[in-house]
Amino acid sequence: MKQYDSKALFKLGYGLYVLTASDGLRLNGMICNTVSQAASSPELIAVSVNKANYTCEMILNGGKFNVNCLTEEAPFSVFRQFGFCSGRDTDKFADEKAFCTKNGAPVLSKYINAFISLEVVNSLDLGSHMLFICKIEDAAVLNDKPSMTYAYYHSRVKPKPEKTRKKGFVCKICGYIYEGDVLPDDFICPICKHGAADFEPLE
């Protein structure tokens, strides 16, 4: 049993980003909330990526990727496009026009206010996630729209669970709904990869 209240972790503030990468043949993108500046001299960025994501494999192999900084204007469809399916079986860029290409991967043409192209200089296996320490290859501010935060996504973008008679459980992290009477103990959210402990019954 944990000897602490892990709900305290929900008090950490995060932004939301789309990471884009390529393996030379395919493009992929994923939603990520764990991007931060790790040092100022030299300027280094720390990005932690769940190993279950195909993008993680691409970054491990290619060592380069882009951070697309989402704005508050990003609609739920962006999160659906990049967060609710896997690049292993879908082409997330099929209908997407790129603003430009960096590191062989697209920079989004919409709903971002900046991009940062990164090259991995160090990585650390953290268990569920890989932590990548990266140097900046290129970066640009595209506009001054406010950045999307995790808190803004939860309060303004994520659809509210519908009041239905459906039985199920909702992921407190991302809003994914599992339909059924019993949530298996080993259930992992297909979207945010959090476990059953982060689900609560639908009202």
Nearer to Fe ion, 99 or 176 (CB): 176
Q: Which is nearer to Fe ion, 3 or 155 (CB)?
A: 155
- Based on CB atoms, which residue is closest to Fe ion, 44 or 188? 188
Binding site for Fe ion (CB under 5 A): 171, 173-174, 176, 189, 191-192
CB of 192 to Fe ion, least distance (A): 3
Closer residue to Fe ion, CB minimum distance, 62 or 190? 190
Q: CB under 8 Å to 116, separation ≥6 — which residues?
A: 45, 66, 67, 69, 136, 138, 139
Nearer to Fe ion, 54 or 169 (CB): 169
Q: Which two tokens stand for residue 7?
A: 């709900």
Shortest distance (Å) from residue 199 CB to Fe ion:
8
Burial of 156 by CB count in 10 Å (0-12 exposed, 13-18 middle, 19+ buried)? Answer: exposed
The whole-angstrom separation of Cα 78 and Cα 96 is: 11
In the complex, minimum distance from the CB of residue 83 to Fe ion, in angstroms, rounded to a whole number: 9
Closest distance to Fe ion from the beta carbon of 171 (Å): 3
- Name the nearest CA neighbour of 55 among 106, 7, 10: 106
| CA distance to 95, 108, 161, 185, per residue, from 139 (Å) | 25, 13, 37, 43
> Least distance from C-beta 194 to Fe ion, angstroms?
5
Pick 12 or 94: Cβ nearer Fe ion = 12
Rounded-to-integer distance, Cα 185 and Cα 25, Å: 37
Shortest spacing between CB 127 and Fe ion, in angstroms: 18
Task: Please give the Cα distance from 140 to 135 (Å, whole number).
Answer: 15
Q: Give the pair of three-digit tokens for residue 104.
A: 């062989």
- Cis, bond preceding 106 (omega within 30 deg of 0): no
